[in-house]
Amino acid sequence: MEYIQTILFQVSATALEQASQDEGLIPELDEHREFLKGQTGFKDLRITRSINPEGNILVVVETRWDNDASLVRYETNEPNAAAIVRKHSNVIVADSLQVLDMEALRTESSWAPGEHARSATERVTLPILIPVGVLAFIVLVIYGLSRVYLEIGGDAAVGLAAGISFGVLIFAFYFANNPKAPAWQMGGVMAIAAVVLLAGSIWAVAEEDEAEGGHEPTNGEVNGGGGEPTDGEPSPPPEGVVLVSMGDNFFDPADITTAAGEEVTIDLINNGAATHNMRIAGEDGEYNTDDDAVSDPEVMSATQTGTLVWTPSAAGEIPFRCDFHPTDMVGTITVE
């Protein structure tokens, strides 16, 4: 059972703008909602008006209460909606104000059990499960996809990302156009996605562990290209070749030394998760697309390798950078 106070009054068309301005009748009634939220038994405040293009405008203000005692206590004390309307008598049509107390009749057996169950679920279960579940799913998506992308690398990772994005769009389109779709459908999609992500994460971690625990060079074996075998130590690169590792977001090493007039080959590997490259500034120390030396390929995804061949013409310090992280990922070539 609900108890309703209904206030009806008319506002003349010429006074509607005044009633709608700041500190006018309509805004004050709307602000009254904050006061009502602190009143025992209060359930809702509704303000509606007619849309007649001409003539007076009928305004209806409804306050809804759990019991008649709460309604009586409200209407016999101020502030209340009726007192606010009377205060703005200059904008309402004379003798148009009516205040009615009513009760809404509903059958307990038809609505109370479902409403009580829904209320209990909202109060206890949903506020806990929904945030925790969403957070866990987001963490799984971020971690799982990042591990899988890193392990796959290259064009395969790009294709997988495009496929996942397309799938997300399809499911989003379906649920957006079927707002009454059963909850088990959305739950099933999320459960399948979680299982696939979890399996992909386990596979990626296992592959990474296997790679890290793989075969180590032994006496007489060569680790890497060029040079002679040593007693279990990595062999140095061939003369004129510099090995540079790219991480997120740094070069290692970031300082390179070479001689003027001698060709230098820089072997690059992207050990980071982001896209990188290496560009050496021109002879004037500025980055100009026309005369800069740049890695081949110019776009290197995770785990991808590349090469940059460059011959310095004069001694000095020449800067280099990553085009995708030009402020953080920089280095210097000292030409002697």
Domain spans of the chain? Answer: 2-105, 109-207, 241-335
**334: pLDDT strictly greater than 50:** yes
pLDDT of residue 35: 92
Between 89-93, 222-226, 268-272, 281-285, the lowest mean confidence (pLDDT) is in 222-226
Which amino acid is it at 31?
E
Q: Same topology for domains 2-105 and 241-335, yes or no?
A: no
Average pLDDT over residues 275-284: 90
What's the Cα-to-Cα distance from 79 to each of 33, 75, 82, 312, 319, rounded to whole Å? 11, 8, 8, 84, 73
**321: pLDDT strictly greater than 50:** yes
What's the Cα-to-Cα distance from 266 to each of 113, 246, 255, 286, 333, rounded to whole Å? 74, 12, 12, 20, 11
Which amino acid is it at 230?
T
Domain 2-105 matching CATH 3.40.50.150: the answer reads no
Distance CA 130, CA 190 (A): 13
| 217-261 per-position pLDDT tens digit | 333 333 333 344 445 555 566 777 999 999 998 999 999 999 998
Task: Name which CATH class applies to 241-335.
Answer: mainly beta
Mean confidence (pLDDT) of the chain: 82
Neighbour count for residue 237 (Cβ, 10 Å) = 15
